[in-house]
A and B are shown apart, each in its own frame.
Chain A
Amino acid sequence: MEQFMDILKELRPDVDFENEKALMDDGILDSFDIVSLIGEINDAFDVEIPFEDMDPENFNSAEAIWQLIQRLKQEG
């Protein structure tokens, strides 16, 4: 989780990822942020986030993104 939070903070140091719950819905992260983030997550955690998972449900909070990573890791 620590490595994941570091990726988020490096990508957008101005965002309070601990408390924000509507990152995508409120436009805090735009599509470029999301694409960059997915690339870095894929690289760091050896997962492949599919295009279909690029939705607010999975990207509205750091917790939701982390859960997505865990799910994909389990699915292999």
Chain B
Amino acid sequence: MTVNSLLFLAFLAGVFLLYYVLCPVKYRWLALLAASVLFYALACLASPLYLLAVSVVIWIAGMWIDRLEQECKEKIGADKAMSAALKKEYKGKKKGVLITAVVISLGILLVLKYGGFFVELGNRLTALAGFTLPVPDFAVPLGISYYTLIAIGYLVDIFKGKIRAQKNYAKLLLFLAYFPQMTQGPINRYQPMASQLYEGHRFDYHNFSFGCQRMLWGFFKKMVIADNLQPVMQAIFADFEQYGSVSCFLGCVYATVWMYADFSGYMDIVAGASELFGIHIAENFTRPFFSRSLAEYWRRWHISLGNWFRDYMFYPLAVSKPAAKFGKQGRKWFGVRVGKLFPSLFALAFVWTCTGFWHDASWRYILWGFANGVIIMGAMVLEPYFDRAKKALHIREEGRAWKIFSMIRTFLLVCLLKVFPGPANTAESLRFMGKLITGFRLPAGWQEILPGVGMGDAALLAVAVVILFVVDIIQERQPVREALAKRPAAVRWVCYLFLVVFILCVGRFQISSSGGFAYAQF
């Protein structure tokens, strides 16, 4: 079952009835738990075992760390003079539990998702000695990259004393496996989610109406734009040797728009579905194509993943002892101005390698992460020179022309970075790059601009993309749903019907059993 199927709508209607009609308010969280377990079982039959393993480990470890924390406080209460020694002793114990649980959870992810990659890598070395291991090909459980990060975040927050452990296993399982976040995130945090999930919500027309609107908008993005653009983009990437560099670059542009419509469309569908139950999940997008730099783009794209890396990887690494020492060395070698960047650069290099690796166990994604990191770090190091150049050229940073130029530049850069994940594998990615650089040729005809799409369909697709762009511009200034709510009912219903008709006429149905979502594969 995928969120862009009729089965999902039927499932949602059933959960809606169960939640608001059959379950008493106090036990409504159980309806969500039952729905989540059923959703996950229907989505991927083999997966619940791994989810169960991770959730049990995290549940036990969470309570253990919490108990150690309470024990420490009690002992300090009895003997204040020993406070520092006790804190140190218990911190070590808590760290031991945390590391064990993280190693187990991450270990499952590493073996299932990256086992083949590492064995293949090892085989290249051992082949010289004359032996190789069989490369495992595990079926990667649906959503494992997401719920593993959610689980680790939960545990680290307990370790840091930000939250108390959830003692009720069923409630913790609901937090980890809440069905709207299950297949592609967002990577929710415990603090804002727990109270929303566990307190029973009463039916609220505002939530219902806004939830339905958001789902409709998500279906439009996914079924009209993403699913119609996907074959065009795939045609170019699959057969790029036949095309000139301009068509290849157009493929990158289509891939960028496709991924945005696909992933943010999914997010709108699941955020809307969650809103039906009065639960607001974390936002993953704030109009990333209006970013004026690549760093800003990554603060607006897949926000929950970026925040996770910032809080649990970037910050602890950037302020760690090795980073501080690296910073001191940097100041010694390059002076104060460049040296101060070293701790952040040290952490960023690590974060971007991991970000690439998180997306896929392949060299092209590692290269993609590396390229993103190099551009962002390069911009940081060169910022004073850029500022000087802008001053010399009398460029007003807050001027409209410069803002638009910066947005277009960032968009083109993001498109260009699609040379890594676009083609089928690393070798093709490198050949594709070569083609972009050396194979300049203008498209020979319409079929080299939008392969496989007729003029009429192209016009409808263009209208849909323009609608997406205009709605994003409005949303950048004010929340669209609130603005729409102030309009007369006739205007609102014309908008809804227009989208429904557009989806029915132009949208694609039954793409694949997985819904054809880009981020489900990660």
CB of B359 within 8 Å of the partner chain: no
Give the nearest-CB partner of B322 in chain A: A39
CB of B341 within 8 Å of the partner chain: yes
Contact (Cβ within 8 A) B311 A51:
yes
**Given that A10-B331, A11-B336, A42-B319 are contacting pairs, would A36 and B84 also be in contact in the complex, using a CB cutoff of 8 Å?**
no
Contact (Cβ within 8 A) A50 B324:
no
- List residues of B (83-134) whose CB comes within 8 Å of A's CBs: 83-84, 87-88
Partner of B327, one of A12, A13, A39, A76: A39
Give the nearest-CB partner of B87 in chain A: A76
**Given that A51-B311, A76-B83, A76-B87 are contacting pairs, would A39 and B336 also be in contact in the complex, using a CB cutoff of 8 Å?**
no
Contact (Cβ within 8 A) B84 A40:
no
Contact (Cβ within 8 A) B343 A36:
yes
Across-interface contacts of B88 in A (CB, < 8 A):
76
**Given that A32-B344, A39-B343 are contacting pairs, would A13 and B324 also be in contact in the complex, using a CB cutoff of 8 Å?**
no
Interface string of A24-45 (1 = CB under 8 A from B): 0000000111011011101100
Across-interface contacts of A64 in B (CB, < 8 A):
none
- List residues of B (299-355) whose CB comes within 8 Å of A's CBs: 310-311, 315, 318-321, 323-325, 327-328, 331, 336, 339-344
**Given that A10-B331, A76-B87 are contacting pairs, would A36 and B160 also be in contact in the complex, using a CB cutoff of 8 Å?**
no
Chain B nearest CB from A49 CB (Å) reads 7
**CA of A43 to CA of B336 in the docked complex: distance in angstroms?**
19
Across-interface contacts of B342 in A (CB, < 8 A):
36
**CA of A32 to CA of B325 in the docked complex: distance in angstroms?**
15
Chain B nearest CB from A39 CB (Å) reads 4
Chain B nearest CB from A66 CB (Å) reads 17
Across-interface contacts of A51 in B (CB, < 8 A):
310-311, 315
**Given that A35-B343, A35-B344, A51-B311 are contacting pairs, would A42 and B331 also be in contact in the complex, using a CB cutoff of 8 Å?**
no
Q: Which of A11, A14, A35, A50 has the most CB of B within 10 A?
A: A35
Interface string of A8-20 (1 = CB under 8 A from B): 0011111000000
Give the nearest-CB partner of A40 in chain B: B324
**CA of A31 to CA of B123 in the docked complex: distance in angstroms?**
43
Contact (Cβ within 8 A) B83 A39:
no
Contact (Cβ within 8 A) A11 B340:
yes
Give the nearest-CB partner of A14 in chain B: B336
Q: Main SS of chain B's interface residues?
A: helix
Contact (Cβ within 8 A) A35 B318:
yes
Across-interface contacts of B331 in A (CB, < 8 A):
10-11
**CA of A66 to CA of B395 in the docked complex: distance in angstroms?**
40
Across-interface contacts of B319 in A (CB, < 8 A):
35, 38-39, 42, 49
Contact (Cβ within 8 A) A33 B84:
no
**Given that A13-B336, A42-B319, A49-B319 are contacting pairs, would A36 and B324 also be in contact in the complex, using a CB cutoff of 8 Å?**
yes
**CA of A10 to CA of B319 in the docked complex: distance in angstroms?**
17
Chain B nearest CB from A73 CB (Å) reads 9
**CA of A31 to CA of B336 in the docked complex: distance in angstroms?**
14
Contact (Cβ within 8 A) B324 A43:
yes
Q: Which of B311, B324, B327, B342 has the most CB of A within 10 A?
A: B324
Across-interface contacts of B324 in A (CB, < 8 A):
36, 39-40, 42-43
**CA of A43 to CA of B325 in the docked complex: distance in angstroms?**
9
- List residues of B (223-256) whose CB comes within 8 Å of A's CBs: none
Chain A nearest CB from B217 CB (Å) reads 33
**CA of A4 to CA of B154 in the docked complex: distance in angstroms?**
34
Across-interface contacts of B310 in A (CB, < 8 A):
51
Partner of A50, one of B83, B160, B380: B160
Across-interface contacts of B315 in A (CB, < 8 A):
35, 51
**CA of A42 to CA of B380 in the docked complex: distance in angstroms?**
24
Contact (Cβ within 8 A) A39 B318:
yes
**CA of A33 to CA of B343 in the docked complex: distance in angstroms?**
10
Across-interface contacts of A36 in B (CB, < 8 A):
324, 327, 339-340, 342-344
**CA of A12 to CA of B323 in the docked complex: distance in angstroms?**
17
Across-interface contacts of B325 in A (CB, < 8 A):
43
Across-interface contacts of A35 in B (CB, < 8 A):
315, 318-319, 343-344
Chain A nearest CB from B82 CB (Å) reads 11
**CA of A35 to CA of B331 in the docked complex: distance in angstroms?**
14
**CA of A39 to CA of B325 in the docked complex: distance in angstroms?**
9
**CA of A10 to CA of B329 in the docked complex: distance in angstroms?**
12
Chain B nearest CB from A50 CB (Å) reads 7
Partner of B340, one of A32, A43, A49: A32
**CA of A31 to CA of B310 in the docked complex: distance in angstroms?**
13
Chain B nearest CB from A72 CB (Å) reads 12
**CA of A11 to CA of B339 in the docked complex: distance in angstroms?**
9
Contact (Cβ within 8 A) B83 A32:
no
Across-interface contacts of B327 in A (CB, < 8 A):
36, 39-40
B-side interface residues toward A, CB under 8 Å?
83-84, 87-88, 160, 310-311, 315, 318-321, 323-325, 327-328, 331, 336, 339-344, 380
Given contacts A36-B340, A76-B84, 13 further A-B contacts (CB under 8 A): A10-B331, A12-B336, A14-B336, A35-B318, A35-B344, A36-B339, A36-B344, A38-B319, A39-B320, A39-B343, A51-B315, A76-B83, A76-B88
Q: List 5 A-B contacts (CB under 8 A).
A: A13-B336, A32-B344, A36-B327, A43-B324, A49-B319
Q: Which 3 A-B pairs give the minimum distances between C-beta atoms?
A: A39-B324, A76-B87, A39-B319
